């Protein structure tokens, strides 16, 4: 086969065969094809699109370009969740121990934050000593013994995606539905879960800004999962404003701990319960938790009784973290400078722009511009207001946690763009817009 022929066929609008896709991905991953030919194919896909069959074949080829985890010997049926990324989205920190506390094993590999979107690994590292670098055998042992393990990637999952994503970044081919869907799903499929809940965010602080685009992406990913033999549910959730109140690594860990102590912001708690309920539904496989109400009843009990927190504490201990920080969140990294940002006027909150809040937190040092940047675990924001709230002049809109005076001043300026107000009542934003179920 010749790369130029595969590129030409896609350029001319033909559907690529499975053999062509597998050959191209394998050759590129091995280093046998140059970046310029892979770039040309990416652009042809960007312009011509891909059918469902091609997208599935591309996803499976990328998933099989490296290690494909099979955890069936350790935990039987395994369930995973994936969030398309957002501001204040610390859901995994609560959902995974909560689901595991219901007896459903979770062995998850998470990632780091990039841009204004946070990452679970950075949040976990707010707990001193927590080890995100497990070997394959440690990962398997903890999955088997504790039914809960949460680390970075062990082994090499979907290396083709790593190479192609770097090319997409510099060839203007990132915003392309089949490429986004295959990129995300290749990593999920390689990570070995039988059931996957996708939390596809939409709005100002998300990759997809409209409901229509988010629905299209979610449907493609559900279809890929189903065709690859996975049980799938996708939820479409709001990311116009931050989820919960805390944005920044240690602050988000503290908020997750508050939630596991039965408290925390109402929207965050509700989001965790709903995503967890979908995970239980998948794991129940038609026998248990078929009814959402049953699932939610059990999850609420596990959250409020401290069972989820106990599971989280076990996770931290097993991965070398300092459990005193779980018991006493005031021991988490603390910022030196803490100041409030208040409302200059009274009114109804019309906008709490998620992307501005995310950028503000990232500029304080909580996020990274490039993969090699380090993060300041202590800094970030607490934003206690939601769209639709009535606030009076002088009310606290945000608390800023900083370690640098100049960054604190820049954060104040950025926050000036994040909030808008209306004299008239403003409807609240929904937490969820829709749910898509994959049928096998
Ligand atoms: N996240 C991914 O992993 N891949 C994409 O293409 C976009 C978002």
Along the chain (440 residues), what's the average pLDDT of each consecutive run of 10 residues? 97 98 97 97 98 96 94 91 93 98 94 81 96 94 96 86 91 93 95 94 93 96 95 97 97 98 97 97 83 93 97 98 98 98 97 96 90 90 98 98 97 96 98 91
Q: In whole angstroms, what is the distance from residue 193 CA to residue 196 CA? A: 7
Q: Considering the domain boundaries, does residue 67 fall inside one?
A: no
Residue 434, pLDDT score: 97
Identify whether residues 240 and 209 lie together within a single domain.
Answer: yes
Q: In whole angstroms, what is the distance from residue 279 CA to residue 298 CA? A: 13
Identify whether residues 213 and 191 lie together within a single domain.
Answer: yes
- Please indicate whether residue 14 is annotated as part of the active site: no
Residue 54, pLDDT score: 97
Q: Considering the domain boundaries, does residue 29 fall inside one?
A: yes
Q: Give 43-59 as a DSSP string.
A: HHHHHH---HHHHHHHH
Q: Considering the domain boundaries, does residue 65 fall inside one?
A: no
Identify whether residues 13 and 77 lie together within a single domain.
Answer: no
- Please indicate whether residue 440 is annotated as part of the active site: no
Identify whether residues 411 and 354 lie together within a single domain.
Answer: yes
Tell me how many domains the chain contains.
3
Q: Considering the domain boundaries, does residue 59 fall inside one?
A: no
Identify whether residues 341 and 370 lie together within a single domain.
Answer: yes
pTM above 0.85, yes or no: yes
Which residues constitute the domain of residue 172? 72-328+433-438
What are the beta bridge partners of residue 233? Answer: 197, 437
Identify whether residues 79 and 143 lie together within a single domain.
Answer: yes
Identify whether residues 343 and 321 lie together within a single domain.
Answer: no
Q: In whole angstroms, what is the distance from residue 338 CA to residue 275 CA? A: 33
Q: Is the CB of 183 under 6 A from ligand 1?
A: yes
b/e 291-309 (16+ beta carbons within 10 angstroms → b): eeeebbebbbebbeeebbb
Q: Whose CA is nearest to atom 6 of ligand 1?
A: 180
**And the tokens for 182?**
């295959």
| Catalytic site residue from 92, 183, 186, 361 | 183
Are 164 and 42 a contacting pair, CB within 8 Å? yes
Identify whether residues 274 and 227 lie together within a single domain.
Answer: yes
Residue 440, pLDDT score: 65
**And the tokens for 255?**
């908020």
* Sheet containing 432-437, strands listed edge to edge, beginning at the edge strand earlier in sequence: 79-83, 195-202, 231-238, 432-437
- Please indicate whether residue 183 is annotated as part of the active site: yes
Q: Whose CA is nearest to atom 2 of ligand 1?
A: 184
CATH of the domain at 94: 3.40.1030.10
Q: Considering the domain boundaries, does residue 386 fall inside one?
A: yes
- Please indicate whether residue 267 is annotated as part of the active site: no
CA of 182 to the centre of ligand 1 (A): 8
CATH of the domain at 395: 3.90.1170.30
Are 199 and 237 a contacting pair, CB within 8 Å? yes
Are 136 and 263 a contacting pair, CB within 8 Å? no
Q: Whose CA is nearest to atom 7 of ligand 1?
A: 180
Residue 118, pLDDT score: 78
Identify whether residues 38 and 161 lie together within a single domain.
Answer: no
Q: Considering the domain boundaries, does residue 62 fall inside one?
A: no
Helix/strand/coil (H/E/C) assignment for every residue in 353-399: CHHHHHHHHHHHHHCCCCCCCCCCCCCEEECCCCCCCEECCCCEEEE
Q: Considering the domain boundaries, does residue 55 fall inside one?
A: no
**And the tokens for 62?**
């990328």
């Amino acid at each position: 086969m010749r790369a130029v022929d595969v590129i030409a066929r896609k350029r001319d609008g033909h559907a690529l065969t499975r053999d062509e896709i597998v050959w191209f991905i394998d050759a590129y991953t091995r280093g046998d094809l140059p970046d310029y030919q892979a770039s040309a194919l990416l652009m042809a896909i960007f312009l011509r699109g891909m059918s469902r069959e091609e997208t599935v074949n591309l996803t499976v080829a990328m998933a099989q370009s490296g290690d494909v985890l099979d955890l069936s010997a350790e935990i039987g049926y395994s369930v995973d969740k994936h969030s398309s990324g957002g501001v204040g989205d610390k859901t995994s920190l609560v959902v995974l121990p909560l689901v595991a506390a219901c007896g459903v094993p979770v062995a998850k590999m998470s990632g780091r934050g990039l841009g204004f979107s946070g990452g679970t690994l950075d949040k976990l590292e707010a707990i001193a000593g927590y080890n995100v670098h497990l070997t394959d055998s440690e990962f398997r042992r903890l999955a088997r013994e504790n039914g809960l393990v949460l680390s970075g990637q062990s082994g090499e999952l979907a290396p083709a995606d790593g190479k192609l994503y770097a090319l997409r970044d510099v060839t203007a081919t990132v915003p392309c539905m089949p490429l986004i869907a295959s990129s995300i799903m290749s990593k999920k499929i390689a990570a070995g879960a039988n059931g996957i809940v996708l939390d596809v965010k939409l709005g100002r602080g998300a990759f997809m800004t409209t409901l229509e685009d988010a629905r299209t992406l979610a449907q493609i990913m559900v279809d890929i999962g189903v065709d690859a033999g996975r049980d799938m549910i996708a939820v479409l959730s709001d990311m116009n404003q931050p989820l919960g109140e805390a944005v920044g690594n240690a602050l988000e860990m503290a908020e997750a701990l508050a939630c596991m102590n039965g408290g925390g912001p109402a929207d965050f708690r509700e989001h965790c319960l709903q995503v967890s309920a979908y995970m239980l539904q998948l794991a129940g496989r038609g026998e248990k938790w078929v009814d959402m109400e049953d699932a939610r009843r059990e999850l609420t009990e596990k959250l409020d009784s401290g069972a989820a927190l106990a599971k989280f504490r076990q996770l931290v201990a097993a991965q070398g973290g300092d459990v005193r920080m779980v018991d006493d969140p005031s021991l988490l990294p603390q910022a030196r400078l803490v100041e409030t940002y208040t409302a200059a006027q009274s009114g109804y909150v019309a906008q709490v722009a998620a992307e501005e809040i995310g950028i503000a937190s990232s500029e304080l040092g909580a996020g990274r511009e490039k993969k090699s940047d380090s993060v300041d675990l202590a800094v970030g924001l607490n934003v206690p207001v939601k769209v639709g709230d009535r606030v009076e002049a002088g009310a606290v809109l945000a608390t800023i946690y900083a370690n640098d005076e100049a960054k604190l001043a820049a954060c104040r300026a950025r926050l000036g763009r994040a909030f808008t107000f209306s004299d008239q009542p403003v409807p609240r934003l929904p937490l969820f817009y829709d749910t898509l179920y994959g049928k096998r």
